[in-house]
Amino acid sequence: MKPKLGFFDFTGCEGCQLEVLNFENELVELLEHVDIVNFREAIAEKGENYEISFIDGAITTESEIPRIQKIRQQAKILVAMGACACLGGVNCLKNFRPMEENLKIVYGECAGYYNTIPARPINAVVPVDYYLPGCPMNRHEFIKLAKALLLGKKFELPNYPVCVECKLAENVCVFEKGGFCLGLVTRAGCNAICVTTGRRCWGCRGLVDDPNTNSEKEILQKYGLTVDDILKQFSLFNGYYPEVSK
């Protein structure tokens, strides 16, 4: 029996679902090993007999809470895909001001038609078994997890900072160029793609476990920074977490 997969979107841009459709080379092969029974963006059928569920998007309305609880009840394995599902993501920027004010800014005098609650990641509502962080999630990490699940093997995310991957990519350090970068405390796994493309790290993959003990302390010292200074800049994708400045 092939395992049955369901894909479900909550509040987000659906870019992570799109990344699944972007496996041009692997998609046909993947379909030989699994049955996709629910994937609203791509298929008309709506099967409820899925065993593994992939969730993208954050929870931002009351009605999304029972919906994710139902999915959790059905699925043996629940995977959070992307920054919105894993961390709350950019949606949490709205948490920095009262919900009434957000409604007023966007809907003006019609604000009363609608409602919204502070944005939160999936694991603030139901337990999550695996995380595929990033904005968007990394396609290769998705394939790695899919293979691990199919073969019953262990899957773990790297627990070292983007800085390590950046050095391997032989990038010039963003601090060296006079910029500011969150790669010092952000979980690796993206191959430092944004710094490699000439930008900096915005922390979309979230913090490494225990950022205070990480090996990049000497770089922090060199530029006269502390871990707390860095955390303050984490609000773009990590606004849900109390250690991030609001």
Partner 1 sequence: MTQLNINVRHVTRIEGHGNIIVNAKDGKIEQITWAIPESPRFFEAMFRGLSYEDVTWIAPRICGICSIAHSTASIQATEAAFGVQLSEQTMLLRKLLYHAETLQSHVLHFYFLAAPDFLGVGSVFPLVNTHKEVVLRALRLKKLANDLADLIGGRKTHPNSCVVGGFAKFPEVSQLKTMQQRLSQAIGDLKETVKLFKGLEIPDFIRETEYIALKDPKEYAFISGSIASTDTGIAAVTDYLNITNEFCVPQSTAKFSKHNRDSYMVGALARFNNNYSQLLPEAQKAAEELGLKALCHNPYMISVAQIVESTHAVEDSLRLIDQLLARELKEEKPDVKVKAGRGIGAVEAPRGILFHDYTYDDNGILIEANCVIPTNQNHNNIQKDMETLVPRIINQPQEEITHMLEMLVRAYDPCISCSTHLLEVKFV
Please report, as ranges, the residues that interact with partner 1 according to CB under 8 A. 10-19, 21-22, 24-25, 27-28, 31, 36, 39-46, 60-61, 64, 89-91, 93-94, 97, 101-102, 105-110, 113-114, 116, 135-136, 193-194, 197-199, 202, 236
CB of 73 to partner 1, least distance (A): 19
Distance CA 205, CA 161 (A): 10
Nearer to partner 1, 53 or 91 (CB): 91
Q: Residue 88 contacts by C-beta under 8 Å, 6 or more apart in sequence?
A: 58, 95, 119, 120, 121, 124, 238, 239, 240
* Smallest separation, CB 223 to partner 1 (Å): 19
Q: Which CB sits closer to partner 1, 26 or 129?
A: 26
User: What is the residue type of 80?
Assistant: A
> Residues 207, 210, 216, 219: what is their CA dihedral angle, to the nearest 10 degrees?
80
Give min distance, CB of 162 to partner 1, in A.
13
C-alpha distance from residue 206 to each of 61, 154, 215, 216 (Å): 23, 21, 17, 16
Residue closer to partner 1 (CB basis): 36 or 163:
36
Minimal distance, residue 101 CB to partner 1, in Å: 7
The first and second tokens of residue 165, run together, are 């991957």
Based on CB atoms, which residue is closest to partner 1, 5 or 75?
5
Which strands sit side by side in the sheet containing 77-81, from one edge to the other? 35-39, 4-9, 52-56, 77-81, 130-132
CB of 27 to partner 1, least distance (A): 7
Residue (42 or 168) nearer to partner 1, CB? 42
